[in-house]
Amino acid sequence: MVTTPGNIQPVRIEEEMRSSYLSYAMSVIVSRALPDVRDGLKPVQRRILYSMHELGLRPGTAYKKSARIVGEVLGKYHPHGDSPVYEALVRMAQDFSMRYMLVDGQGNFGSIDDDPPAAMRYTEARLAAIAEELLTDIELNTVDFTVNFDGSMNEPSVLPGLLPNMLVNGASGIAVGMATNMPPHNLSEVCDAVVHLIDHPDAVVEELMNHIPGPDFPTRATIHGRSGIFDAYTTGQGRVIMQARADVEELRGGRKQIVVTEIPFQVNKAALVEKIAHLVRDKKIEGISDIRDESDRHGLRVVVELRREAEEEIVLNNLYKHTALRSSFNVIMLALVDGQPQVLDLRRALQLYIAHRQDVITRRSEHQLKVARDRAHIVEGLRMALGALEEVIAIIRASDDAAAARQNLMERLDLSEPQSQAILDMQLRRLAALEQERLEREYQDLLKTIGELEALLADPKKVLAVIRDDTHKLKKRFGDARRTEIFDEEPTDKLREEMIQHQEVVITLSKGGYIKRIPSATYKLQHRGGKGVRGMTTRDDDALRDLVVADTHDSLLLFTNRGRVYLKRGFDIQGDTSRTTRGIHLANLLPIAETERVNATVAVNDMAAESTLVLATAKGEIKALRLEQLKNIRQNGLNAMDLEDGDELVSVRLADDSHDVMIVTMSGQAIRFSLAELPRRSRGAGGIRGIRLAKGDLVVSMEVVKDDDMLLVVTSGGYGKLVHISRDGSKGFRRQQRGGMGTRTFRTGPKTGLVAAARVVGEAHGEEVMLVSAGAQVFRTSVQGISVQGRITQGVILWRPDGGDEVASVACF
């Protein structure tokens, strides 16, 4: 190595960097970032609390400017910037950061919205009552003191710490190559665990968790799942899932809102609200109409208003999934043990706290014992002097000065120097009889105290008993109820369909394009000839177009008049409990063109089933299409059938090869033919002729039937009847060749009106019928109450619609 003259010595840069960085790393680990396991404090926190203690800022005293406290800390103990010191002081005064605040602040100390605190020249502070428990007995030689940074005074290396601060307030810090992140806990529970471990030294973590079930956060909220807590308590590392507490409130008009009253620990409320707003703006979360922060001094309250059609459970699940309403606290229980960083489990952390308290109580007792012995020694000398008072006075009078008197007393009465000095310092009033009695009582009390302290120091069990008693007193004075509720279930991001119950619903569609779903039980069963009930509110120029009964989890194929098909689930349709609401417009659900309208809806339980869709148009065209050809329907739909100009799709049914096809026209004609006659065509192909229509006639219904079925035919005037499918002659329908004129199925006239709809009924199709008028009245009755008649009869009155109203749709279930 090259050498240079003088005091300059060349060093390899890699060696210097290694050595310097190691020194820096150890300084950060030991002197800045990590808490001591004994008092749970980082050096800056400890120095702040000790400085406030030295300034006399006890609970109940006057507040002092934060700048004064920061200056005291900087000038005496902490040779760093004023900002970190003030930040540490502020955090200890924030009720949303500390489970048990150590500083009692006055002024603006920031908020859960991450608003900055006021400048230190404006705020004031003093010690909180519970912080006194960290400093109690510090003057009794209970902890070691070290010299400060400039060697001018001493500071405590640790606080006596009756409060188990590391567990109750937690800690977080990033060192070099390591970090700590300890959650806060409930003081009452920690005290119970300490007592249990004292009484049962071999207790395992599972037993301790009977007392400390998990963290207890200052912002309350909830914890979901116990596995992460168990991992943290057994290994020192784990993941705790926190979730906001949210309730759903009903609003007028059937709307709802989600109200968040508790949020996870360390979540910025303002940033949370902003995040929700961005998700709504970017359409990553749907169903939200407004977001408001209504928090005030009485508590936190974030309101998320929902759209009328929104499912609150789905919205809430998405909020949990995409925002900090569900967060994780990654536990790393790393602390300094004898100056070295160690990852601790729960049992070890409690053991080290108890060991610290044992050391503090032992040192306190030794100090108190020394003081008591010294005082007893003095009192013994005073008692001896009072017993030989005349001789003591004579010795003092005969002495030239105080030093000679002290020496003469020591030699003549066999006293020690402190005893002799105490006699010389004794005031004449102490010679009174009452004072002599008081001195005697003091001596006896001192002997008793000495005996108790000696017995305490000789028996570790008695030391533990003192810790137990102190812990009970601490719990009684500062213990409180748990804030964070713990649930056993692990949180899951449920799929939308998992959160919705299976329910039979009626889905209605108006001619104006409004769609909704409602529980089928909402419509009560009525007798034939009744008036019906209101099924949905329609405008004067609107009327009901279609009605289908389905399960909320069924797939809904919505076919437009132009032969296009869209796919939705039953729960995608706006749910309602009222029969009279209009629902939502299809434009808010499907990307349909202005000239398109949904004419047919098919409910499918399994899109992968080997079934056939049969499609019929108003002009008598028909087409068979395999269901599997529609299993991948895009958001913007697919073309299911190519239509001729002027024609439109009117009916779609799900079938298999055992079915026949039945087509019914508004004039009362009907034709039945085998589904096997229909070739399965490609998705984009057109149809073939199903029935030959008379001039002016149009197809109103197409059904798929079996021999045991019956056909329900209903006219616009409310007349209806049941006709057997398989009866011969005028009683039923024989199979014909596709494309013919068909046979008469209803004798229509001015009184009955034209055929409004025909539906197949039977065991497989349910036993109840629902009729819906153009004015949106709904009539529900049993199939058993409807007359079975021949093909060419006019039927009986089923329902009497209000004047000017007429039957528009029929459903069987």
> HSE (CB half, 13 Å, CA atoms) of 116?
7
Tell me the C-alpha distance between 220 and 61, whole Å: 31
Long-range contacts of 604-611 (CB under 8 A, 24+ apart): 604/554, 604/555, 604/556, 604/557, 604/654, 605/551, 605/554, 605/555, 607/555, 607/631, 610/656, 611/654, 611/655, 611/656
Tell me the C-alpha distance between 446 and 371, whole Å: 10
Q: Residues with catalytic annotation?
A: 122
* AA identity, residue 20: S
Residue 64 phi, psi (nearest 5): -130, 150
Of 581, 480, 501, whose CA–CA distance to 537 is shortest?
581
Tell me the C-alpha distance between 54 and 563, whole Å: 86
Tell me the C-alpha distance between 399 and 406, whole Å: 9
- Which residues lie closer than 8 Å to 137 by C-beta, 6 or more apart? 160, 360, 364
Contact 490, 227 (CB under 8 A): yes
Tell me the C-alpha distance between 90 and 101, whole Å: 10
H or E segment at 546? strand 544-551
Q: How far is CA 202 from CA 100, 190, 196, 287, in A?
A: 29, 17, 10, 55
Question: Could you tell me how many residues make up the chain?
Answer: 813
* End-to-end Cα distance, the chain: 98
Tell me the C-alpha distance between 225 and 242, whole Å: 9
Of 561, 642, 567, whose CA–CA distance to 602 is shortest?
567
Beta bridge partners of 757: 714
Q: What is the 3-state secondary structure (H, E, C) of 64-115?
A: EEHHHHHHHHHHHCCCCCHHHHHHHHHHCCCCCCCCCCCEEEECCCCCCCCC
Measured on CA atoms in the order 513, 517, 522, 524, is the torsion positive or negative?
positive
User: Helix (H) and strand (E) counts for the chain?
Assistant: 17, 41
Tell me the C-alpha distance between 179 and 156, whole Å: 24
H or E segment at 545? strand 544-551
Rg (CA), the chain: 44
Residue 700 phi, psi (nearest 5): -110, -25
In 597-733, beta strands by DSSP E: 598-604, 612-617, 621-626, 638-639, 649-655, 660-665, 669-674, 688-689, 699-705, 710-715, 719-724
How much of the chain is in helix, strand and coil states, percent to nearest 5?
Answer: 35, 25, 40
Task: Count CB neighbours of 436 within 10 A.
Answer: 16
- Which residues lie closer than 8 Å to 437 by C-beta, 6 or more apart? none
- Which residues lie closer than 8 Å to 329 by C-beta, 6 or more apart? 181, 183, 215, 239, 240, 242, 264, 265, 266
Tell me the C-alpha distance between 41 and 157, whole Å: 11
The token pair at 294 is 């209504």
3-class DSSP assignment, residue 670: strand
Tell me the C-alpha distance between 72 and 60, whole Å: 21
The token pair at 97 is 């950061």
